[in-house]
C-alpha cells in the first residue's frame, strides 16, 4: 500500500478533530466565562531509510538523511485563559472576575469545582448557587427579608435586611488560582476540576497574590473571536480537501500501476 494513502487519511482525521474544536468554540460564543480551545498537532513517527551522518566512505559522511514521515496526529487541546470582556448585567448576584482566578463551587460529591461563570442566583434556602444549583463556596446564605446585596471587589458579601440600615456581613467568596490553568480538567457546566497537571489550588482573597478583583453587576463574556474561528474553519476545510485530493491522486496512480 502506498504510504500516501495512510498519511492523507491521518491528515483528514486530524482536520476533522480540528473542525470539532472550532465548532465547540463557536457553539459557546455566548457562554459566560467560556475559554476557547485550540487543537495541537504533532507529526507521526518517521521511516528512517537513510541515516543522516552515516559513513559513505572512511572519510565522508552523509550531510542529510532520508526520512519519510507517516502523517499527523492531534495530541492535545489547549485552552486559552485570556480575559473575556466584561458585560454589565444589572443583576446584583452577577459577578465577574477581572484578572486571574476562579470561583470555588461545591460539587454534589463534596469535592470542589472551579469556574469563571459568575451568574449566581439564590435557591429556595437562600443560598448563593450557580445557575445549575451548585452552592458557591464557602456557602453563603442570604437571610429572608433582604432588600439589597452588595459584593465588594475583594469578594465580601453583605446585605441590608428589612428593618435595618446597616449592612450585615454574610461571608466572602472563595477564589483560587493555579500554576497551570490550562491543565485543569473541564467537566461541563462551565466547571473545571483540579488535576495533576494544573497543580494544587492556591486560595486567596480577590485582589491579592495575583488574583483578580470581583466586579458586581457584570459577567465575563466568552473569549472566542468569531472572525478568527471562521478563518480557522476555512483553513481547516481547505486542508481537508487537499488531503482528500492526495488520496484520489494516490488511487489514480495505483490504477495506472495495475494497468501496466
Strand positions, DSSP E, 80-122: 86-88, 95-98, 102-106, 112-115, 121-122
Q: What's residue 107's pLDDT?
A: 93
Neighbours of 22 (CB within 10 A): 23
Residue 228 dihedral angles phi and psi, to the nearest 5°: -65, -40
Q: What's residue 88's pLDDT?
A: 95
**What are the boundaries of each domain within the chain?**
3-81+224-258, 86-220
C-alpha cell at 26: 463557536
Q: What's residue 41's pLDDT?
A: 95
Give the mean model confidence (pLDDT) for residues 180-203: 94
Q: What's residue 1's pLDDT?
A: 56
Answer positive or negative: Cα dihedral of 197, 199, 205, 207. negative
163 pLDDT more than 80 = no
Share of the chain residues as helix, strand and coil, in percent rounded to the nearest 5? 25, 35, 40
Least-confidence region, from 55-64, 117-126, 201-210, 238-247? 55-64
Average pLDDT score over the chain:
91
Strand positions, DSSP E, 13-65: 37-43, 46-50
pLDDT tens readout for residues 192-249? 999 999 999 999 999 988 899 999 999 999 999 999 999 999 999 999 999 999 999 9
59 pLDDT more than 70 = yes
The Cα 60–Cα 237 span in angstroms is: 46
> What is the pTM (predicted TM-score) of this model?
0.87
Amino acid at each position: 500500500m502506498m504510504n500516501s494513502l495512510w498519511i492523507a487519511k491521518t491528515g483528514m482525521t486530524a482536520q476533522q478533530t480540528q473542525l470539532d474544536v472550532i465548532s465547540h468554540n463557536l457553539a459557546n460564543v455566548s457562554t459566560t466565562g467560556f475559554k476557547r480551545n485550540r487543537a495541537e498537532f504533532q507529526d507521526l513517527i518517521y521511516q528512517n531509510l537513510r541515516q543522516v551522518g552515516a559513513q559513505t566512505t572512511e572519510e565522508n559522511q552523509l550531510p542529510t538523511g532520508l526520512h519519510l514521515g507517516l502523517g499527523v496526529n492531534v495530541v492535545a487541546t489547549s485552552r486559552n485563559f485570556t480575559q473575556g470582556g466584561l458585560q454589565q448585567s444589572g443583576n446584583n448576584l452577577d459577578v465577574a472576575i477581572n484578572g486571574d482566578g476562579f470561583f470555588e463551587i461545591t460539587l454534589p460529591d463534596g469535592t470542589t469545582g472551579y469556574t469563571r461563570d459568575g451568574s449566581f442566583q439564590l435557591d429556595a434556602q437562600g443560598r448563593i448557587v450557580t445557575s445549575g444549583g451548585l452552592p458557591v463556596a464557602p456557602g453563603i446564605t442570604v437571610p429572608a427579608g433582604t432588600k439589597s446585596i452588595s459584593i465588594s471587589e475583594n469578594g465580601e458579601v453583605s446585605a441590608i435586611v428589612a428593618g435595618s440600615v446597616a449592612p450585615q456581613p454574610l461571608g466572602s467568596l472563595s477564589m483560587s488560582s493555579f500554576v497551570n490553568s490550562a491543565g485543569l480538567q473541564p467537566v461541563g457546566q462551565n466547571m473545571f476540576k483540579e488535576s495533576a497537571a494544573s497543580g494544587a489550588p492556591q486560595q486567596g482573597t480577590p485582589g491579592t497574590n495575583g488574583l483578580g478583583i470581583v466586579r458586581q453587576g457584570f459577567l465575563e463574556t466568552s473569549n472566542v473571536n468569531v472572525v478568527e474561528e471562521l478563518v480557522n474553519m476555512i483553513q481547516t476545510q481547505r486542508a481537508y480537501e487537499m488531503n482528500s485530493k492526495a488520496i484520489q491522486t494516490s488511487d489514480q496512480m495505483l490504477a495506472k500501476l495495475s494497468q501496466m
